């Protein structure tokens, strides 16, 4: 079958030890479902003679161009270096939704944002204030919308007709398991129609 | 002077103990510089009879509508509950830049992303791999673009003609100090022209 739509593959894979292979694998899986994958921006860029800051700007510009060229996005929203998804991926989800392009997100934990905040970040230490709002020891509100991360993600993704898939993956495979990614490809295939 | 443009005020203020007062103060400062501030979405919403998830979706939809209505954004990108900015704010910066609207960001630390990753997150423990890429003990790349956060922020904001302001603020005031916010209002005033 020949590819029908372009997918922008968002996620923190570039930072992984096996990042290049992982991104290649994600591209192959996309092609197998009939989607053109966005290729790594860095491949077409040359850092020679530019500052690290300028090179970062080149990568950013290439990513933004790829997003504008793509028909939809699949975003790895698995918690990354903390309680939330990779913030670069977060930026990209907002970017694609503003352009009216569907986003299919996934996270390799079934733990909701509220549970991660309360159990992992605040270690269970939280109290309700005078107005009944649950707060951590630092005074910050612990929000509970039954959502995967900050409410902009479940909210924006569902409003645009996308989906946010949760799977429970052993912690050592959380950043690499591609089962939920493949499920997103299938959901996108249904969204755009069978070939 | 009468307001000329609408500003979407992005940041994690809603989670602060004094969140409402802080958002009011930010709105007043915007008005003083001649900008209509975006008002809190929650004020116009009623959680009665809807699930927490549905209410979260209502807030998200109201925020997205306000972003589409606004002329520009000022975003508080101070690190929030970890190494990076509030991810909801990150989503919103990407959203506004996709719409072609200028973003003025600020962060109340002069520590760059690389320094926070290496010193605060990895506690100085990092090694170069065979290809010379610096990695933490978890194998993840420690990127250094001389930037404030993930490269999409400095990249997108500078490409759209905005600015990213850094200030050193004592840690106890990092989430509340409004000096850099006020500086962003002045930069936006210059951007849109004096009244």
CB of B141 within 8 Å of a chain A CB? The answer is yes
Answer whether residue A1 shows pLDDT above 70. Answer: no
Question: What's the average model confidence in pLDDT over A13-29?
Answer: 95
Please tell me which of the candidates A95, A146, A158 has its beta carbon nearest to residue B97.
Answer: A95
Answer whether residue A42 shows pLDDT above 60. Answer: no
| Confidence label for B3 from pLDDT (cuts 50, 70 and 90) | confident
- Angstroms from A17 CA to nearest CA on chain B: 6
Answer whether residue B40 shows pLDDT above 60. Answer: no
- Residue-level length of chain B: 195
Backbone angles phi, psi at A5, to 5 degrees: -135, 160
Answer whether residue B42 shows pLDDT above 60. Answer: no
Percent of chain B with pLDDT over 70: 96
| Confidence label for A4 from pLDDT (cuts 50, 70 and 90) | confident
CB of B115 within 8 Å of a chain A CB? The answer is no
| Confidence label for B5 from pLDDT (cuts 50, 70 and 90) | very high
CB of A100 within 8 Å of a chain B CB? The answer is no
Please tell me which of the candidates A90, A99, A153 has its beta carbon nearest to residue B98.
Answer: A99
Please tell me which of the candidates A53, A61, A151 has its beta carbon nearest to residue B146.
Answer: A53
Please tell me which of the candidates A16, A82, A94 has its beta carbon nearest to residue B82.
Answer: A82
Answer whether residue A161 shows pLDDT above 60. Answer: yes
pLDDT tens across A106-130, in order? 999 999 999 999 999 999 999 999 9
Sign of CA dihedral A182, A187, A188, A193: positive
CB < 8 Å to B15, chain A: 140-141, 143
Q: What does the pLDDT read at residue A11? A: 98
Q: What does the pLDDT read at residue B194? A: 74
CB < 8 Å to B144, chain A: 52
Averaged pLDDT score across all residues of chain B:
95
Chain A with chain B: Cβ pairs closer than 8 A: 180
């Amino acid at each position: 079958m020949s590819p029908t739509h372009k997918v922008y593959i968002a996620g923190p894979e570039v930072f992984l030890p096996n990042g290049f292979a992982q991104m290649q694998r994600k591209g192959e899986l996309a092609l197998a479902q009939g989607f053109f994958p966005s290729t790594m921006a860095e491949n077409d860029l040359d850092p020679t003679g530019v500052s690290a800051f300028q090179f970062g700007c080149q990568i950013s510009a290439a990513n933004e161009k790829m997003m504008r060229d793509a028909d939809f996005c699949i975003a790895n929203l698995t918690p990354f270096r903390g309680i939330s998804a990779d913030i670069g991926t977060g930026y990209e989800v907002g970017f694609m939704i503003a352009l009216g392009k569907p986003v299919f997100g996934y996270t390799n934990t079934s733990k909701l944002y509220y549970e991660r905040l309360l159990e992992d970040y605040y270690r269970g230490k939280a109290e309700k204030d005078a107005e009944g709002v649950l707060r951590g020891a630092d005074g910050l509100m612990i929000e509970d919308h039954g959502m995967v991360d900050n409410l902009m993600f479940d909210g924006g993704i569902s409003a645009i007709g996308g989906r946010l898939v949760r799977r429970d993956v052993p912690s050592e495979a959380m950043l690499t398991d591609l089962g939920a990614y493949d499920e997103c490809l299938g959901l996108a295939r249904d969204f755009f129609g069978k070939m």
